[in-house]
C-alpha cells in the first residue's frame, strides 16, 4: 500500500486558523465532503465518537484522527497542515500542526489497520515532518507525502 492510493491531491490542505480540535474536525469534514463526497456532519460526528475512545494525537506535533464511515468502498485520507499549532490532547501534551485523517469502510478489517500503520510510520520520520512544516504549499505537500518512502516498522 502506498499513500498515493489513499490520498487525493485535493485532500491535502493548509489551514491558517483552526482554533480547536472540534474546529479542526469541521475542516476535515469539509475536505471529506469536497474530496470524497462524504457528509461533512457525519464525518465530524464519526471523528468525535472515535476520539472519545482515546486521543489520536500521537506526539511530536502529529495527530491521526480516523473513523469508519458508511458509504465508502476504500480507505481514504486527508492531510492537513496547520499554520498555527492547536492543543489536541496528544499523548506528549504538545500541540499539533500535522493531522492525517483516515476514513475506512465500516466493514474494513486489515486494510484500515495497514493504512493507519503506513501513515504512522511515514509521519514518524522527523526529517519528513520538518520538510512538510517548511513547505506550506498543498501541491508540494502532496508530492512529498506520496513520494516518501515509509520506514520499516
Task: Give the residue numbers marked as catalytic.
Answer: 66
Q: How far apart are the first and last CA of the chain?
A: 14
Q: Which residue in this structure is represented by grid cell 505537500?
A: 141
Angle at 36 between CA 35 and CA 41, to 5 degrees: 95
| Crossing angle of the two packed helices 126-133 and 110-123, in degrees rounded to 10 | 80
Q: How many CA atoms lie within 13 A of 74 on its CB side?
A: 10
Amino acid at each position: 500500500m502506498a499513500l498515493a492510493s489513499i490520498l487525493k491531491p485535493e485532500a491535502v490542505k493548509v489551514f491558517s486558523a483552526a482554533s480547536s480540535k472540534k474546529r479542526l474536525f469541521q475542516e476535515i469534514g469539509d475536505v471529506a465532503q469536497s474530496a470524497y463526497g462524504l457528509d461533512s456532519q457525519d464525518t465530524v460526528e464519526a471523528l468525535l465518537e472515535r476520539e472519545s475512545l482515546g486521543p489520536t494525537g500521537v506526539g511530536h506535533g502529529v495527530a491521526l484522527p480516523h473513523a469508519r464511515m458508511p458509504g465508502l468502498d476504500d480507505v481514504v485520507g486527508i492531510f492537513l497542515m496547520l499554520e498555527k499549532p492547536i492543543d489536541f490532547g496528544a499523548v506528549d501534551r504538545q500541540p499539533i500542526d500535522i493531522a492525517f485523517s483516515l476514513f475506512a469502510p465500516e466493514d474494513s478489517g486489515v486494510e484500515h489497520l495497514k493504512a493507519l500503520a503506513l501513515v504512522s510510520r511515514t509521519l514518524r520520520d522527523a526529517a519528513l515532518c520538518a520538510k512538510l512544516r517548511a513547505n506550506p504549499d498543498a501541491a508540494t505537500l502532496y508530492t512529498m507525502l506520496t513520494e516518501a518512502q515509509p520506514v520499516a516498522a
